[in-house]
Amino acid sequence: MERLQKVMAHAGIASRRKSEEIIESGRVTVNGQVVKELGTKVSNNDQISVDGIPIERETKIYVLLNKPRETISTVDDDKNRDTVVELVQGVEERIYPVGRLDWDTTGALLLTNDGDLSYKLTHPSFEFPKTYVVKAKGQMQKKEAARLARGIRLDGVMTAPAKVSVLSYDRNTNTTMARITLHEGKNHQVKNMFKEIGFPVEKLTREQFGFLTTDGLQSGEWRFLTPHEVRKLEHMVSE
C-alpha cells in the first residue's frame, strides 16, 4: 500500500505537493469514489482517476546491483558523491535503494519503485534475512561468535538473534573472516556489533539479500530481477 499522492507523483501527474492540492480539491477518485483525505493509501488493484481520466501507473522495476565501495545508497547527494542510482543507467523509472549500505560497504543492493515491497523488505517485523561477510581485526573464537548470535546491547537495546560463523583466521594480518545473517537493519549494525566485542570491521560485504546474490555481477554491475525472483521475494514477506 502506498499513499495516493505518492502514486500520483510517480505516475507523472504532478509533484507530490501539487498532487496533495489536487486531492484536496476533490479532483481524484479511487474506485469511483471521490477522495480528499491525504492519508489515503491505495494498492496496485485500485483504480485511480484525476478529472475523470484514469492514471497510468509507473511500471514496477526491480534491479539488483553489486554495490561498489565509495558510493552512497541514496538517490542524490548534496555533497556530490557518487550514488548507487547513478550506476543504473538506462532505467527511466525513478527507483530507490531498498535500505542502505554504508559508503564503504559492498555487495547485494536492491533498487525498486515498488514502495509496498520495499517497506516489507526493510521493516524488522517481516524478519527478512541479510547475510554479510566480515573481515575484522583480531582472532575471533567461537565464543565471540556465539555472543554475537545471542544478541549485543547497542545504545541500550539488544540486537535480535543472528546466525554467525567464523570462516577463517589470517595470522599474517591478524584478521578474522566471519559470516553473519541478520533479520533487522539498524544503522551501521554489523560494524557496531563487531566493534562492541572488540573486533573492528576492516571490510564488509553483503553476500546475500534474502536469496539474491551478486553471482555473475562485477562490482558496479546490475541486472533486472526475473518475475520468478520478484514473486519469491513477495512470498518471503507474506508468510
Specify whether the CB–CB gap between 128 and 237 falls below 8 A.
yes
Pairing of strands 62-67, 106-112: antiparallel
Candidates 210, 180, 208; CA nearest to 192 is: 180
Mutual angle of helices 115-122 and 227-236, in 10-degree steps: 50
Share of the chain residues as helix, strand and coil, in percent rounded to the nearest 5:
25, 30, 45
Specify whether the CB–CB gap between 105 and 187 falls below 8 A.
no
Task: Select which of 77, 102, 104, 116 is catalytic.
Answer: 102
State the Cα–Cα distance between residues 125 and 78, nearest whole angstrom: 32
Backbone angles phi, psi at 101, to 5 degrees: -115, 140
Specify whether the CB–CB gap between 123 and 185 falls below 8 A.
no
State the Cα–Cα distance between residues 230 and 234, nearest whole angstrom: 6
Give the 3-state secondary structure of residue 119. helix
Cα 79 vs. chain centroid, distance in angstroms?
22
Q: Is 102 a catalytic residue?
A: yes
Q: Which sequence positions are flagged as catalytic?
A: 102
